[in-house]
Amino acid sequence: MTCILVVDDEPAIRRLLSGVLQRGGYQVDLAGNSAEALGAVTRGGVDAMLLDLGLPDRDGLEVIAAVRAKSDLPIIVVTARDDTAEKIAALDLGADDYVTKPFDADELLARLRSALRRARSSAAPGAQLNFGAIMLDPARHEVACRGEPVALTPREFAVLEALMKAGGRILTHSALLEQVWGKAHVGDVDYLRVVIRALRLKLEIDPSQPALIRNEPGIGYRLNG
């Protein structure tokens, strides 16, 4: 049975999340602070983590960084912090998703299922990537959309490849810029906007109403299948 680690210092929230997850068919492990959470990850047997940021012994952002240093474990932040800067920081550090309290139980389970699917279907380096109507072959440097070949520049190809590897997860502006342009350009959001505009012109049915490449205002971009 898939095991989900719930990390929250409030017993009531742990009970609530435990009940939601058990009704969803998951096994649940509980942690009330970062030390217990990191211990559970180290022991193994955990398939995903629901993480509160307001922990008593260590900020949740530090926990994300510590987990990412040794594991690709799916992490969904579940927190009362709704500041955009906090969300960007969590995603940049490697969180897969960010849900604010109070949350809808069905939506949370859907986001968890999506994160688990991404983790299980992570393609080997160089393998063909497929997301919705888009196919990307890194080895051949080929892209097709709705079965038709699409010619992309190297920058356009690199941005699309990063978004496809994320599999629908939000990639922040800085994460995309660092991956494609390098650390020296993490603040050059205009570079990214130009490439996203070009990709939409080549991939979207109606570029003025983009359905494939979605903008998360002030945060970044994600693919929509």
The pLDDT, as a whole number, for residue 5 is: 98
- List own/partner pairs for 185-193 with CB under 8 A and 24 or more apart: 192/159, 192/221
DSSP string of 41-70?
A: HHH----EEEE-S--SSS-HHHHHHHHHTT
Q: What is the CATH number that goes with domain 129-223? A: 1.10.10.10
Q: What is the CATH number that goes with domain 3-120? A: 3.40.50.2300
Q: Where are the domains of the chain?
A: 3-120, 129-223
pLDDT in tens, 4-19: 999 999 999 999 999 9
The pLDDT, as a whole number, for residue 1 is: 84
The pLDDT, as a whole number, for residue 121 is: 64
The pLDDT, as a whole number, for residue 33 is: 97
pTM exceeds 0.85, yes or no: no
- CA pair distance 195, 180, nearest whole angstrom: 11
Per-residue burial over 196-208, b = 16 or more CB atoms within 10 Å of its CB, e = otherwise: bebbbeebeeebe
- List own/partner pairs for 154-157 with CB under 8 A and 24 or more apart: 155/180, 155/195, 156/195, 156/198, 156/199, 156/202
pLDDT in tens, 88-104: 999 988 898 999 999 99
- The answer to whether residues 8 and 32 touch, using CB atoms and an 8 Å cutoff, is yes
- Output the average pLDDT for the chain: 92
- Residue 105 predicted with pLDDT over 90: yes
| CA terminus-to-terminus distance, the chain | 28
pLDDT band at 71 (very low <50, low <70, confident <90, very high): confident
pLDDT in tens, 168-196: 889 999 999 998 988 888 889 999 999 99
